Structure 1
Amino acid sequence: MSSALTFRYPRFVGPFAPFRVADALVRSSVRTARPAESAWFVPAADVVRDGDDAVVRVELPGVDVAADVRVEVVDHRLVVAGERREEHEGEGFRESRRGSFRRIFGLPRHVDADAVSASYDAGVLSVRIAGAHVAPQPVTPEARRIDIAGVTPSATADGTTEGATDGATEASGTAEA
């Protein structure tokens, strides 16, 4: 049986051969733990600060972004989900991974979904979160008078109003008999 690709395995000879075998096994297990060689497609992502904004850059080469990628804001989380589809069927050796992916990034509570925009260029999806690094404005309680139904406000000497019952008159002075 012949193959277009051949693989060579090192010859282990000499007094240190068992150690070389163990070293090769450790290296191969570490190498397969890298995301690019894992069983699932996990696109690399960077989150960087750009002034008051945050920018999430997701590497998506070979992905049909228009058809296969979704960018959403759900419960103060940025969700980038999609699929890298199989380009060519058939036999061969393949290091690149295919399949569905989902990356989730937490957003600050003060960021609204309208502050998020996305663009795609040269295999990189860029999602800008406007104002992500701006300190949220503190909410100060506002004093507000609540009117009482059935009571009309009346002016007092200091300019504030006090409630008087509808139809009631205030007595002043002395009562006449």
Structure 2
Amino acid sequence: MNALALRTRPAWDVDRYFDRWMDRWVREFFGPATADDWFGGSFTPAAEIVRDGDDALVRIELPGVDVDKDVHVEVDRGYLVVHGERRDERADDRDGRVLREVRYGSFRRSFKLPEHVTSDMVSASYDAGVLTVRVAGAHKSPETKRIAIEAK
């Protein structure tokens, strides 16, 4: 079992000074950006697909994301596409953080849909930090259509 322990940083913190030095170096050579912009500007939320009868449920973990404003669910050329952004509302408080493991930035996840699925078969809901997209009839086998044979 792993335990995560937070500690108080000493007055002279090597990590913080290295981060500042790296930010200055990146700005000097590449323009007004920080090292985070170059080396960590996005994240990939965890996802799972489960079967619920004939439906497929796509669950994507998006804690701390304003789904009304920052998340879009679309059906585009046979793909279910979920994209958006997790914003860091406390970006100005960067030097006061003790531990940084949360990733911020834009994200995009796409899932191939069966050919018979249309956009009106897709619905989405959000609860407790998890976006759930229901694809109705995704596992339903397409109906066999008998073709009449014409005699000549």
C-alpha distance in 1 between matches for 2:48 and 2:139:
16
Matched, 1:138 2:144: yes
Equivalent in 44, 56, 69 of residue 42 of structure 1 = 44
Classify the secondary structure of the residue corresponding to 1:62: coil
TM value normalised by structure 1: 0.58
Which of residues 1, 9, 16 is equivalent to 1:5? 9
Letter in 1 for 2:112: G
Gap runs ≥5 in structure 2:
1-6, 14-38
Render the CA deviation track for 1:27-52: whole Å, top value 9, x for unaligned.
xxxxxxxxxxx933111001000011
Q: Which residue of 1 aligns with 2:117?
A: 111
For residue 102 of structure 1, give the secondary structure of its aligned residue in structure 2. strand
Quote how far apart the aligned CAs of 1:143 are: 6.1
- What's the offset of the Cα at 1:84? 0.1
Secondary structure of 1:49 counterpart: strand
Identity %: 57
Match of 2:31 in 1: none
* Larger RCO (CA under 8 A, 6+ residues apart): 2
Kindly name which structure, 1 or 2, has the bigger radius of gyration based on alpha carbons: 1
- Tell me the number of residue pairs that the alignment of Structure 1 and Structure 2 aligns: 112
Report the Cα offset of residue 142 of structure 1: 4.3
Give the structure 2 partner of residue 53 of structure 1: 55
Q: CA RMSD in A?
A: 2.1
Q: TM-score, length-normalised on structure 2? A: 0.68
* The structure with more helix, counted as a fraction of residues: 2
1:86 and 1:41 map into 2 onto residues whose CA distance is 12
- Look up the match of 1:162: none
In structure 2, the residue matched to 1:126 is: 132
